Amino acid sequence: MNSANLSRNEIDNRFKWKLEDIFPDDGAWESAYTDLKNTFPQLSEFQGRLTESAESLLDFIKKMQRSEELLGRLYAYAHMKNDQDKSVAAYQEMYERCSSLLVDFNQSVSFFEPELLLLSEDKLKTFFSTEPKLEQYRHFLDNILRSREHLLSAKEERLLALAGEVVQAPAEVFGVWDSADIIFPEMEDENGKPITISNGLYGKYQQSADRRLRRDSYKGLYKPFIEHRNMLAANYSAIIKNHIFQSRARHYDSTLEAALDSNNIPVSVYHNLIKSTNENLQPLHRYNKLRKRVLNLEDGVHDYDLRAPLFSTANKEYFWEEAKQLCVEGAAPLGEDYQNLLRKSYSEGWIDVYENRGKRTGAYSSGTYGVHPYVLMNYNRTLGDVFTLTHELGHALHTWYTINNQPFVYGDYPIFLAEVASTTNEALLQQYMIDHAADKTEKMSYLNAYLDKFSQTFYRQVLFAEFELQTHTLIEKGEALSADKLDELFGQLYQTYHGPAFVLDRETKALWSRVPHFYYNYYVFQYSTSFTASFALAARILKEGKAAQENYIQFLKSGNSRYAIDTLKIAGIDMTTEEPVQTVLDYMNKLLDELEEML
């Protein structure tokens, strides 16, 4: 179905999400908007008397969270109405009004954490003993109070807040240069015609079977980054210095500790991830050796060879009904209840399926407490779209299980866990596709795609995480980071990770300079931990059956009721140990065995 040029009204309602399940119409949204604004003065009245009594604290938390729940509904309706057709001015305005409403809400409750942090431990214990209804909020309060030692004086906190936009300046400079000012060179396309390289063409050509296209697009993409290497090195050093400033101002021992503390993640998780990966580089070396052999790369594997398909297959189309069924069948190891929820999502208006004029690109899952989750797709019949669907439905069912088993205070889940459920769905579907391939060639292509995820998602992101730790540590020790030093550090890591079959090019050394996530403060490691947890979970579920399945569903139900590390332990995954990484890379070796036997 080619719907890109259809208006929203021309799309059949069967393929649209039902936002009326949040609010029946725009008028109801307007009424709720007004009602919420009227609650803000009531919240502000608690300032200065929040901790006078246990009853006062409990009353405020309940009122604050009722307002927050309604704000979530208002935002969900507005942003999804806007995303389904961005040409409608009324929904653009509705979405912008939600942003202003959020600012007003935050101002009305801004006193909450500072006043709570002044509450003594003895007085809090008394509150819990005199008001049993506070017990439900114990973890919620503990998560705030554990940061007490990193709280500064009111004047110091104000200074840090005022510096907020300044400390983000390097990230903004990189973003503006990378999206607006960068100038890419020309290259010849597959027909020999001159074209200007772009990020979109780069992504397309890196997956081409034509090595000349891969090489030229790779070198072309890196040309402006190498030309501006000194500016980019200075800019990256500046963001690291900002991270150091923030961590030392708040009395953390390191930037790593400061960054991980927001989710209460032990630094041992980060160090164990790097250590256990470095002890298990052989599967990636083995895969690159196999790539060199299959693609007949006599000079060795270059970075521009890592995304090329090893086996050519016909471009099969997957119609919507087939995609839905594949997602259900892939999820069979998660049980009948899970599969029935997937069917429910198809029949009860959770998913906005096809593209239309003005619709937001890409895909996502979104949810708000008290209403079923939603999924935005731009489905176009490719296998990639099938995996996108199962990925987003993994998020959606994580949300569904959470909001139907937790009170509002714990009705969400932390970013550290956000990608686990979605990638577990992908892993199970990937194994299903391998097991049910129509022929040998199709099976080999599925194995190739699966192995690429280990290479490009797991190993690549651990490599990035190690580079990020090295660069922060060097500046924390007082050393400087020049462009030459950054090239050297990154090049050494890349060669070590990819092994003897890999050839390190000049451009590859500069890869550090084009990764926007390096400005996010130790963010990239979460891609690897999520991948590790999800594939370890999938392996357990496939091997152990019902017991592992039940533990996994319990994990999905836990929401924010525990710290992220403890929530994963419910499913049987302990990220403070090296075992999950070992499990995942043992599985990669198993896939390599299977593929090599077929060659």
Position 599 scores a pLDDT of 87
Position 162 scores a pLDDT of 74
How many alpha carbons lie under 13 Å from residue 90 in its C-beta half-sphere? 6
pLDDT in tens, 475-517: 999 999 999 999 999 999 999 999 999 999 999 999 999 999 9
Is 472's pLDDT higher than 70?
Answer: yes
Distance of CA 480 to the CA centre of its chain: 31
In this prediction, residue 1 has a pLDDT band, given cuts at 50, 70 and 90, of low
Q: Cα–Cα distance between 287 and 173 in angstroms, integer?
A: 38
Position 316 scores a pLDDT of 83
Is 259's pLDDT higher than 70?
Answer: yes
Residues comprising the chain, all counted: 599
Q: Cα–Cα distance between 208 and 216 in angstroms, integer?
A: 12
Residue 105, domain member (yes or no): yes
Q: Cα–Cα distance between 136 and 409 in angstroms, integer?
A: 9
Is residue 423 within 8 Å of 392, Cβ to Cβ? no
The parent domain of residue 13 ranges over 8-151
Residue 70, domain member (yes or no): yes
Is residue 397 within 8 Å of 338, Cβ to Cβ? yes
Domain of 136, CATH number, reads: 1.20.140.70
Is residue 263 within 8 Å of 491, Cβ to Cβ? no
Secondary element (H or E) of residue 365: strand 364-366
Is residue 104 within 8 Å of 34, Cβ to Cβ? no
Residue where the block lists tokens 């990639």: 384
> How many distinct helices (H) and strands (E) make up the chain?
28, 5
In this prediction, residue 327 has a pLDDT band, given cuts at 50, 70 and 90, of very high
Is 428's pLDDT higher than 70?
Answer: yes
Residue 536, domain member (yes or no): no
Sheet holding 374-376, edge to edge: 351-352, 374-376, 364-366
Rounded average pLDDT over 72-95 = 94
Residue where the block lists tokens 């391998």: 434
Q: Give the total number of structural domains in the chain.
A: 1
What separation, in Å, do the N-terminal and C-terminal C-alpha atoms of the chain show?
37
Q: Is 66 exposed, middle or buried (0-12, 13-18, 19+ CB in 10 A)?
A: middle
Residue 24, domain member (yes or no): yes
Residue where the block lists tokens 């490009």: 456
In this prediction, residue 163 has a pLDDT band, given cuts at 50, 70 and 90, of confident
Residue 208, domain member (yes or no): no
Residue whose C-alpha is closest to residue 128's, from 109, 111, 145, 151 = 145
Residue whose C-alpha is closest to residue 582's, from 570, 594, 573, 571 = 573
Is 547's pLDDT higher than 80?
Answer: yes
Is 165's pLDDT higher than 90?
Answer: no
DSSP 8-class letter at 301: B
Residue 352, strand partner residues? 376
Residue whose C-alpha is closest to residue 148's, from 183, 128, 121 = 121
Position 142 scores a pLDDT of 94
Is 581's pLDDT higher than 70?
Answer: yes
Q: Which residues are catalytic?
A: 392
Is residue 561 within 8 Å of 413, Cβ to Cβ? no
Position 447 scores a pLDDT of 94
Q: Cα–Cα distance between 74 and 78 in angstroms, integer?
A: 6
Residue 557, domain member (yes or no): no
pLDDT in tens, 297-314: 999 999 999 999 998 776
In this prediction, residue 369 has a pLDDT band, given cuts at 50, 70 and 90, of very high
pLDDT in tens, 215-243: 999 999 999 999 999 999 999 999 999 99
Is residue 445 within 8 Å of 313, Cβ to Cβ? yes
> pLDDT: is 152 or 401 the higher one?
401
In this prediction, residue 166 has a pLDDT band, given cuts at 50, 70 and 90, of confident
- Mean of the per-residue pLDDT values of the chain: 93
Is 289's pLDDT higher than 90?
Answer: yes
Q: Cα–Cα distance between 583 and 85 in angstroms, integer?
A: 44
Please state, for a pLDDT cut of 70, what percent of the chain lies above it.
99
- Secondary structure of 93-117 in the HEC alphabet? HHHHHHHHHHHHHHHHCCCHHHHHH
Residue 107, domain member (yes or no): yes
Position 83 scores a pLDDT of 93
Rounded average pLDDT over 406-426 = 93
Is 295's pLDDT higher than 90?
Answer: yes
Q: Cα–Cα distance between 43 and 246 in angstroms, integer?
A: 30
Please state, for a pLDDT cut of 90, what percent of the chain lies above it.
83
Is 321's pLDDT higher than 70?
Answer: yes
Position 154 scores a pLDDT of 67
Residue 28, domain member (yes or no): yes
